[in-house]
Structure 1
Amino acid sequence: MILPHNPPESTELRELRDDRSAGSAVYRSYHRLLKNHWLGNGACWTVIVPDDGNPLTLTEIGDRLSGGESHVAQKTARPVNAFPGDEAWAVLVGRSGSVTELFEYGFHAAFPPVLPRLSEGGRAYSVHWNVNGNNRIAFAADGELLLAVDAMYPGSWTHEANLAHWPELTAMAPHFRWRNGKSWRAASLATIELTTGCRLSQEWLEQERPHLTGQRWGSAARSPSVTVRVKPVRLPESHPRSTARRMQALTRAARPARRRTSRGSSRCPGSRWAGGGPASGRRCRRRR
């Protein structure tokens, strides 16, 4: 009997299979972490990787977060106690070798100009979400924003010019498809771990860490309603994550959508129902 011949697996296919297997394992670990966890209500996780291997000092981190505005190094705190309170922002700082890890409940580090500032002399990866599902996963390098996309809709990433420069995000895209039962939050955290080697674990969340706060937004992060537009940039093939200084990160405030009404609407323009809507027979009362 002649047995079928199976050609040897190429190195490229083997590496791709191993990467997908590793990515699935990391994804499952975050899926377990987020299940019934307070993290699901809102968090921002940012990891900074320096090119020269020298970690940022706490002073350098504070200066980049504040944009030169005043900030305070508070006593160490655990994430469950690191709410901004009366401050504009509050960020916990961790380290893994030369890599810096930032955790917060807001979105201060996730948007321009803060994320590009954090990436100066290296790379910065960030994901944030809130209880309403507003989110952004982003990547900046050498002071330039390269990519910022909505983690809930990986299908919309197709036309992002710089997507190829974050291969780990591309490889993990199937795990972002929440309509297929996947967790885009777990996929976002897994993507950053696969890129940087830094894990946000329950142990990390239980430890006390340096705690930076600032009283002014200054030229800090924009609101989550901001639409970030990034110019495409042609990068050298020899260094896929290097950036061209020509690229500029552009932001503009998103205009609030106008409320539209129709003849069959349950609300009258500039008014409110006394109760029960039009079917109740009550008249529409004008707002004063």
Structure 2
Amino acid sequence: MREDMTYYRDLLAEEPWAEVSACWTVIRPSGNTATSRDVVTLLAEKGYAEAEPHTPKDMPLDGVLVWEQHGTICLFERYGSLGLPYDLPEWLSESEAYSLFWDVESNTKISHVRNSKLVAVIDPMEPDDRSGPLNDELRRALRFLEETARDHEDDWQAAALATIETVTGRRLSREWSRERHTCLVPGSPAAENHSITEHRFVSDAELDTALTNASGDIQADAFATLATTLVDRFDLREFPVVAELMTDLPREMRAPSRREVDVREGLIWPLAERFHAGGQAEPFEADPVWRRMQGGEALAIVFGAALSPGGWRDRRDALYHAQLAFGDEWSVIRVRLADQIRSGQPPE
């Protein structure tokens, strides 16, 4: 397993985008001939629709890649953790699945599902934080995770990837990282029975590419539009730090006057307190208080792009939290931002 960890350490160094957030799931169907197309059909029933094939690096941030590997069905997400669908149909109800997830908020977990039920969960960063009975494969992996956390704590991601490979026999290869795979996205025109001419669709990957290729001034103007949309949609001017920064938005977008930590203290902490004080609804996406908190998180990144002491944080990280905040509205906002970047003119 240690050799596998070395392999994944090298892979993460070559593909640094994967260190930010990822979810890798391997499903082992039992006694049936289920294929990746069956999973595509399942996701379509959940509102996903097939997009153009993508590599893991250029896939839409809200997309899911699906492929087959030696009798197993694999899923990969850059953000989010659709991961293990517990409500599996009959043709997969006797399957076994393992999933590894981590995100930008340091949430991490290795999950084991059998017969559509969550059996066990391990936090690869803190292996003592686990629940449920472990099978023999996971017990052996647990010892390895504990050793890594104790002696090589910075290698927890590589160790977690090696764990999934060990218990499933499947690898995220270098070829996999460069190949295009079947890709599904939520809330696309196909899922809503609209044609491309009726409802133009811009993926997260396309917006990210447009931002990357834009000039500094056009980027600043696009983030100013995003900031204004967040503030208006989630009524964030009630917080003094936001009201102050919005008074000179063009300057703030070009030369942030506050570190992100300052903005978080005046915005995120109060929003988080309200969220936790009110109880947590399930799913979070249906809770307007949680979505407002995500909007604040996006705004904090936009306003305070300077992290201390880690240097500059990419403002594009805000797009992930904006997606969570806006939910179904995000596809429309994404199109407006992309149009603004292409035209160089803010929306009317």
Asked if residue 56 in structure 1 is aligned to residue 28 in structure 2, the reply is no
TM-aligned CA deviation for residue 75 of structure 1:
2.0
Question: 2:22–2:102: 8 Å Cα contact kept in structure 1?
Answer: yes
Structure 2 unaligned segments of length 5 or more: list them. Answer: 192-273, 278-348
Q: Indicate if the aligned counterparts of 1:45 and 1:104 stay in contact, CA closer than 8 A.
A: yes
- Residue 63 of structure 1 deviates from its aligned partner by 4.0
Please say if 1:70 is aligned against 2:47. Answer: yes
1:102 to 68, 71, 75: 75
**Partner secondary structure for residue 57 of structure 2:** helix
Q: TM-score, normalised by structure 1?
A: 0.58
- Whether contact under 8 Å (1:73, 1:213) holds in the other structure is yes
1:235 corresponds to: none
Identity of aligned residues (%): 25
Q: How does 1:174-253 map to 2 (within 5 A)?
A: 174-177=146-149, 180-215=152-187
Q: Which of residues 108, 116, 119 is equivalent to 1:146?
A: 119
Q: 1:178 to 1:186 in 2, by over 3 A?
A: farther
Asked if structure 1 preserves the Cα contact closer than 8 Å seen for 2:111 and 2:122, the reply is yes
Matched, 1:26 2:4: yes
Aligned positions, number: 190
**Aligned-residue RMSD, C-alpha:** 2.8
Q: Which runs of 4+ in 1 moved over 4 A?
A: 255-258
* 2:102 aligned with 1:129: yes
CA contact (8 A) 2:65 2:77 kept: yes
Pair 1:117-2:96 in alignment: no
Contact 1:151–1:176 (8 Å) recurs in 2: no
How far, CA to CA, are the matches of 1:197 and 1:54 in structure 2? 19
Residue pair 1:50, 1:123 contacting (<8 A) in 2 also: yes
Matched residue SS, 2:82: helix
Query: Which residue in 2 is equivalent to 1:167?
Result: 139
Residue 38 (1) aligns with residue 12 (2): no
Distance 1:130 1:156 in 2: 17
Answer yes or no: is the 8 Å Cα contact 2:60–2:185 preserved in 1: no
Q: In the TM superposition, what is the alpha-carbon distance from 1:124 to its structure 2 partner?
A: 1.0
Structure number having the greater helix percentage: 2
Which structure shows the higher strand fraction? 1
CA distance 1:174–1:203, shift in 2 (3 Å): same
TM-score (norm 2): 0.49
Amino acid of the structure 2 residue aligned with 1:48: I
Q: Distance in 1 between matches of 2:139 and 2:41?
A: 30
